[in-house]
Structure 1
Amino acid sequence: MATFKSNKSIGLDLKNAIMTGVSYMLPFIIAGAVLMGIARIGASMYGIENIWDASHSESANNLIRIFHDFDGFGGLALSLMLPIVAGYIAFAIANRPGLAPGMIGGILAGSLGTGFLGALVAGLIAGYIVKFLAEKVKLPRALASAGPIFILPVGGTLLTCIIMMYIIGDPLSMMNKGLEAWLLSMSGTNKVLLAAVIGGMVGFDLGGPVNKAAVTTAMALLASGIYDPNTAAQVAIIIPPIGLGLATLIWKHRFPASLQEAGKASTLMGLIGVSEGAIPFALANPKIILINVLGSATGAAMAVGLGAVNKAPISGFYGWLAVENWFIYIISIAVGSLIITLGSLLFFKVDENNDDKKKEMVKTESKTFSVTR
């Protein structure tokens, strides 16, 4: 029993550390993606589809040069993705002394070709090494202040880099490249099938382990320039909360008061990219999970199959216009959401959710009785 608790605690620590790293990383990604979106949408008005090309820095048109610079600013922000996520994973485990080893390990992970997966591993290694050193290295009182600012960052960085460079860097790189090669070899039906599987996984447990596995894999491949899994995941994330939120607006009488309120929040959470807005509906009627999976898988497969490309891990509306073939992307979200909205009719019935009507009837009868008396 003690071992079980220990394993559960370690698993929770790992999850919290990774989520901390991802949460600190997201502002950089959002800033970068939005700036690049502005640049590319602006450049498209001039018929330019490769505003990132260095030749545009010499354009005679001032606006084109500005758009080129904006795209560069966005790229600079996105380039911080790996060191930031690794650094703050280490920070979550070992506090401030873990920050430098984690960030440096994240940069090394990028240069070794291990991608996002390598950055996650580098952050965990750095964090636990620094934590171990902090517990085991005992300094004289006169030198105690040197530990957090000298010994722990230097020792942690050196050991992290040695492990990444000489022990796990090559295996992680080979794994990453093998996965890349397999996915790049996919085309046509296989690509659509992959998108459907990722979309279904994302819609299954709404932020749970299956969802996280799909999203983490998509983000790992994103850092390597493979965008289809990320496109599928980001489309699928927002379909259930939007679809169920719309259902409570269109067929209000089918839902109890509690879910009507949850529907308002669900729609908003969907628009900003939070799938957990649909959880109250799954708890109220777990059968809706089947519809969530179907809607998410359909929307994801449609987006990828018709050529939409999302190059940033952003599912909220503020990133939609930065997507290539953004109109198809939005239509795919709408189709997947509509499937869930209509599918909710199968599981949320008027007879099962008639609380509001009953309350109104009681009030009416009470007023009638008072007047009669």
Structure 2
Amino acid sequence: MKFVAITSCPTGIAHTYMAAEALQVAAREMGHDIKVETQGSVGVENVLTPEDLAQAKAVIIAADTSVDKSRFAGMTVIEVSTKDAIKDALGLLTRAVNAKGSSKSPADQVTQGKPEGKETKTGVYKHLMTGVSYMIPFVVAGGLLIALGFAFGGIYVYEVPGSFGETLFSAGKAAFALMVPVLGAYIAFSIADRPGIVPGMIGGLIAANNGSGFLGAMVAGFAAGYTVLAIKKFIKLPKSLQGLMPILIIPVLSTAIMGLLMVYVIGKPMTSFNTGLAAWLTSLSGTNAALLGIILGAMMAFDMGGPVNKAAYTFGAASVASGNPSAIMAAVMISGMVPPLAIALSTVMTKTKYTLEEREAGKANWALGLSFITEGAIPFAAADPLRVMPSIMIGSAVAGGISMAFGSTIIVPHGGIWVLAIPHVVTNLVPYILALVAGTIVSASVLSVVKKPVSE
């Protein structure tokens, strides 16, 4: 049988390609043919053609972001998260094999694979993750360019306008300035398609300027998306005037509504919340800071790229958006590096507790962990969750706690160990590296003890 699939995760780095590989391996084992389109950070690859769709029995969408399903009108669609595809690709393909052909019209196209009671929750999460997926490249580019600006121009690079370092620094600041509007725009895009981009971006821009910031942009994105849907539903024009809806009525009316909402409804509460949160974080020091680091560390390891992990990462990324060094981002990054590194170390420490395939996969986790790609731990956690997940959470919590306790800060939101050599990127570098080493050893040791030998 022939199947087609799409995989897409918020960062477009790890889950996207791991899910694609899992589906391809499962298809080979079952004797089926599958073509997987990956919508990753480098763009869309292996694009599905009309011929592919015509030959396919069913479509599998393994995505944590919003995917355009208009191409699949009338086809049987099974929709799950990337994590589900990674965990049980064989089961997913079995469902696709047994799926009944759809006789629905394009307007009535249905999706399978999600319990109805979880539809709303999953939809909200997907909308948020779509916004985050478009935002992350701005955050990463901005952070690294600011770091390079400091590397070339020194800590006071911004005082030398026109210099090479200051130019890089300014480009990074510009990328950061777009981060919040882009978040609002693409949350709205996920909800209402292209008509949502304008009011979502305007709402996000207002949020960036009125102090409501990242959280304000999130609320603005959802408000803009559902405002556009409401306009499309309740405003009906004669057929002769329907062409005015997408170019005049929707953008003007939705943007006006968002402007009013951001000033009179959303802005002040979100600004007050941000101010209080900033004051609380500023007050944290010593033991309290370590506790925050422990919590963030455990969150990063809990689902390795899932909603809890992304919540912690987004919290950290927002803290570096101003271009200032962030202890929160430092704890988040170091904690996210621990799970794959700990698993890699454990496969070396206790070879009898891992299959040959797992030991080979463990080698790749060295590079994934050093690059801050937590998702490398997923196959191991999926195979033995009750032992692996608590073990890696302990080590990540240790790393996050040590990082915060020593006040290590970082000004980039990604890059792993490879950015640590850039001057002025990390403060308290030695304790920061010790946090990584300690967390990795703790997790690897616990995991090596609790894992059962392969024969068992």
Per the shorter chain, which TM-score range?
A: 0.7 to 0.9
Show the counterpart of 1:147: 245
Report the equivalent of 1:29: 139
Give the conservation status (yes or no) of the 8 Å contact 2:176–2:321.
no
Alignment of 1:282-321 (within 5 A): 282-285=381-384, 286-314=386-414, 316-321=416-421
- Cα deviations by residue, 1:267-313 (Å, 9 ceiling, x for unpaired): 34333333222122223332232221221111112222333212333
2:369 is equivalent to residue 270 of structure 1? yes
2:157 counterpart of 1:57: no
CA–CA separation in structure 1 for the residues paired with 2:308 and 2:444: 23
State yes or no: 1:40 paired with 2:40. Answer: no
Instruction: State the alpha-carbon separation in 2 of the partners of residues 321 and 129 from structure 1.
Output: 47
1:127-142 paired onto structure 2 within 5 Å: 127-142=225-240
Matched position secondary structure for 1:69: helix
Which residue of structure 2 lines up, in the alignment, with residue 365 of structure 1? none
When structure 1 is superposed on structure 2, of 118-127 and 295-304 the one drifting more is 295-304
Q: Is the 8 A contact 2:395 2:443 kept in 1?
A: yes
Task: Give secondary structure in 1 for the equivalent of 2:412.
Answer: coil
**Shift in CA distance, 328/79, structure 1 to aligned 2, threshold 3 Å:** farther
**Alpha-carbon distance in structure 1 between the residues aligned to 2:259 and 2:321:** 20
- Tell me, in whole angstroms, the C-alpha distance in 1 between the residues paired with 2:233 and 2:116: 19
Output the CA distance in 2 between the equivalents of 1:354 and 1:142.
73
SS in 1 for 2:140: helix
Contact 1:281/1:288 (CA < 8 Å) preserved in 2?
A: yes
Structure 2: gaps spanning 5 or more residues: 1-113
Deviation (angstroms), 1:324: 2.0
TM-superposed CA distance for 1:94, in Å, is 0.8
TM-score for both structures, normalised by structure 1: 0.82
Q: Tell me the residue number matched to 1:61.
A: none
Change in Cα spacing, 1:269 to 1:139, as seen in structure 2 (3 Å) is: farther
Q: What are structure 1's unaligned runs of at least 5 residues?
A: 59-64, 356-373
- Of residues 275, 283, 295 in structure 2, which corresponds to 1:177? 275
Structure number with higher helix proportion? 1
Q: 1:102·1:122 contact (CA, 8 Å) conserved in 2?
A: yes
Counting only pairs closer than 5 Å after superposition, residues 42-121 of structure 1 correspond to structure 2 as 42-43=152-153, 48-52=154-158, 54=159, 56-57=160-161, 65-121=163-219
Paired with 2:170 and 2:449, the residues of 1 have a C-alpha distance of 49
**For residues 185-208 of structure 1, what are the alpha-carbon distances to aligned partners after superposition, in whole Å with 9 as ceiling and x for unaligned?**
112221122112211222223233
Q: What is the aligned-residue identity percentage?
A: 36
* Cα offsets for 1:313-332 (capped at 9, x unmatched): 32544544453234543442
Check conservation: 2:147, 2:412, Cα contact below 8 A: no
Q: Aligned residues, how many?
A: 338
* Structure showing greater relative contact order (alpha-carbon pairs closer than 8 Å, 6 or more residues apart): 1
Closer, same or farther: CA 153–273 of 1 in aligned 2, 3 Å: farther
Q: Which residue does the alignment assign to 2:94? A: none
C-alpha offsets along residues 88-146 of structure 1, whole Å, 9 cap, x if unaligned? 11111111111111111111011121121111111111111112212222222222222
Please, which moves more after superposition, 11-20 or 331-340?
Answer: 331-340
- Asked whether the equivalents of residues 200 and 293 of structure 1 are also in contact (C-alpha less than 8 Å), the reply is yes
- CA-CA distance at 1:252 after TM superposition: 3.4
Counterpart residue type for residue 347 of structure 2: T
Contact 2:151/2:165 (<8 A) preserved: no
The 2-side partners of 1:196 and 1:176 are apart by 22
- Partner residue in 1 for 2:326: 227
Give the aligned partner of residue 454 of structure 2.
353
Q: Does 1:324 align with 2:426?
A: yes
State how far apart, in whole Å, the 2-side matches of 1:35 and 1:219 are: 15
- Give the whole-Å Cα distance in 2 for the aligned partners of 1:231 and 1:172: 25
Q: CA deviation at 1:226?
A: 7.9
1:335 pairs, out of 430, 438, 445, with: 438
Establish whether residue 164 from structure 1 lines up as the match of residue 262 from structure 2: yes
Distance 1:29 1:221, change over 3 A: closer
Structure 1 residues 169, 206: CA separation in 2 closer, same or farther (over 3 Å shift)? same
Greater fraction of residues in strand: 2
CA gap 1:151/1:249 in 2 versus in 1, 3 angstroms:
farther
Structure 2: distance between partners of 1:145 and 1:274: 46
| Cα distance in structure 2, aligned partners of 1:145 and 1:318 | 52
Larger-Rg structure: 1
More off after superposition, 119-128 vs 281-290: 281-290
How far off is 1:168 after superposition? 2.0
Matched, 1:237 2:328: no
Query: What letter matches 1:57 in structure 2?
Result: P
CA RMSD of aligned residues (A): 2.4
What's the secondary structure of 1:313's corresponding residue? coil
**Partner amino acid, structure 2, of 1:341:** A
The answer on whether the counterparts of 1:255 and 1:354 sit within 8 Å (CA) in structure 2 is: no
Q: Which deviates more, 219-228 or 174-183?
A: 219-228
| TM-score, normalised relative to structure 2 | 0.68
* CA distance in 2 between partners of 1:312 and 1:142 (Å): 52
